[in-house]
Amino acid sequence: MAILEILEAPHPILSQNARPVRPDELGPALQQRLSDMAETMYAAPGVGLAAPQVGDLRRMIVCDPGAGEEDEGRTLYLMVNPVIVERSKEMIEGDEQCLSVPEIVVRVKRHLRITMEWLPQGEPKRQDFEDWPAIVLQHELDHLQGSTLYDRASSLKRSRYLRSRKKAMATEYAR
């Protein structure tokens, strides 16, 4: 198990498309990568993490929409090659945050319900998600297409964000 470094926007890797995981890549090493991503997500703490955020340009996401709550219905999803196969016309809007775009909040419109397919170990899986879990997953899937909240933010928010990251980095280097 290992905590991985989370890249921050505007890192160039975060704006690239992730490629599908090949069948020959399935196995213990991939499983280890997914476990490390989950550990990194919980430690951050966050509710979802996409592989490009840790510098891995393959279609993989981990998510636990109920992380941080005492709820017993919590589930950790480790998804390889996830795709949305159905989307509701009904939309939902909410404030989102991202581990790769710290200290920024962006209001985003998402589909209220989605149906996803992905590969765990072995059999392909298909499941419906609604509301908060659907929002989290759509956010993570954006990462696989090289899109983050940084791209969705207004130019004012973006320049404020860049200024605050510059300051944060300057302090880090000064140490």
- For residues 10 and 60, the answer to whether their CB atoms sit within 8 Å is no
- Of the candidate residues 78, 98, 106, 144, the single one contacting Zn ion (CB under 5 A): 98
Decide: is 18 part of the binding site for Zn ion (CB under 5 A): no
What span, in angstroms and rounded, lies between the C-alpha atoms of 158 and 162?
Answer: 6
Tokens 């599908």 locate to 20
C-beta of 4 vs 98, nearer to Zn ion: 98
Q: Which stretch binds Zn ion (CB under 5 A): 63-71, 91-99, 121-129, 155-163?
A: 91-99
Catalytic sites, residue numbers: 140
* Minimum gap (Å) between residue 11 Cβ and Zn ion: 12
Helix (H) or strand (E) holding 141: helix 132-144
* Minimum gap (Å) between residue 120 Cβ and Zn ion: 22
User: Going residue by residue from 107 to 146, which x/- string records binding to Zn ion, judged by CB under 5 A?
Assistant: ----------------------------------------
DSSP 53-70: GGT--BSEEEE-TTTTS-
- For residues 99 and 59, the answer to whether their CB atoms sit within 8 Å is no
Binding residues (CB under 5 A) for Zn ion: these are 98
